[in-house]
Amino acid sequence: MQANVAWVTGAVLLSSVLGAGNVRGADWPWWRGPERNGISRETGWSLNWPAAGPKVLWKASVGVGFSSLAVRDGRVFTLGHANNADTVWCLDEKTGAVRWKFSYPAKLDANYYDGGPSATPTVAGDRVYTLSKRGVLLCLEATTGRLVWSNNVMETLKAEKPTWGFAGSVVVDGELCLLNAGSSGAAFEKETGKLRWFSGTDAAGYSTPVPFDLNGERVMALALKQEFALVRVRDGQVLWRHPWKTEWDVNAADPIPSEGRLFISSGYNHGGALLDIRGETPRVLWENTQMRNQFNPSVLVDGHLYGIDGDVNRPDTGLKCVRWADGSARWSQKTGMGGVIAADGKLIVLTEKGELIVAAASPEGFKPLARAQVLGGKCWTTPVLANGKIFCRNAQGNVVCVDVSGS
């Protein structure tokens, strides 16, 4: 991202007036995008929307759930629940037509909320990997939906199911499928589905594992039931644990690594902290209640965190900007729950009530550049930008694809 905030803001405002030039499209193949940080590589997409909002290219109904969307090679993948079954959907990116679907028996598991699948499909090579709330791990052919292999994670690990079911998405890293399952993660072979290692039988947290390189080793950070942990990818060795007890054991937002530091956060008024993780044990640089990510994680842009601060029970929940270095708040805007991603110096926010907002990624204040009501119902799922399109979804499984290509 560009370091000069003033230049970024000026460029964003200019693009909102003039519209887009040539869109440089990019796929979004798994949860949190190609770099697993919530930031798209896409540039040149348009904010020159009609008064009624961007053109709707297609709509689809995929069933109850909170799974986000993966976009790869002209296909859109997501999960939903209907008629006592979960379904993996593969839709045509341009038209929304069903390319294929794969269903299996499942319970809705509505526990103080709508229920349905929480994890997002992961597309790696010619395979798509999914995980259900009750631990059904699937590998399907991305082009046909044919089952390649399956593994019941709860039975294999003999692990306790988290109260609200497994929520973290599958992460394909090298030859492994990494899961937030068991006491501090598990790994399965991506080609065969065989268990490579696991960490114990306690209930998992709800985040997706975040792999990265640190001190010459491949590691992954993940939120656990009552702590955060750093785990060595090749063998599952826990390198350290950092206590982080949250009400109802809901640690769900993915940790965010950057240059030897790790941001962690939870809702229920717990807050966030920045850890220095370059040593053998983590050192707290700051901790406060300025950024409380209950479900979806923040994005880090030019030294600032942008995310949904609060939880479903707080009237002031909304989009917030916090300085990475010291945790100080810069601004906040009430939106309710929802999700945020970033691209080309801009934030893309889907609010709880289905308003799509594009704003400058600037610490100087909330600066909306375009906004439109694109959905109704409860929208807790993070939006996706890919190839000149923004994809949004609500809890009941209504999906809308809008055109921001400027063509």
Q: What is the DSSP letter of 24?
A: B
Give, for 261, the enclosing helix (H) or strand (E). Answer: strand 261-266
345 pLDDT more than 80: yes
What is the predicted pLDDT for the residue at 109?
95
Give, for 210, the enclosing helix (H) or strand (E). Answer: strand 210-214
Q: What's the pLDDT tens digit per position in 192-231? A: 999 999 999 999 999 999 999 999 999 999 999 999 999 9
Q: Percentage of residues in the chain with pLDDT exceeding 70?
A: 95
14 pLDDT more than 70: no
Tell me if 389 sits within 8 A of 402, measured CB to CB: yes
Q: Among residues 223, 132, 119, which one has the least CA distance to residue 168?
A: 119
If 0-12 CB within 10 Å is exposed, 13-18 middle and 19+ buried, where does residue 202 land?
middle
5 pLDDT more than 60: no
- Check: pTM over 0.85? Answer yes or no: yes
Q: What rounded mean pLDDT belongs to the chain?
A: 94
7 pLDDT more than 50: no
Q: What's the pLDDT tens digit per position in 348-393? A: 999 999 999 999 999 999 999 999 999 999 999 999 999 999 999 9
What is the predicted pLDDT for the residue at 25?
80
- 2-6, 107-111, 399-403: which has the minimum mean pLDDT? 2-6
Classify domain 1-66+342-407 at the CATH topology level.
Thrombin, subunit H (2.40.10)
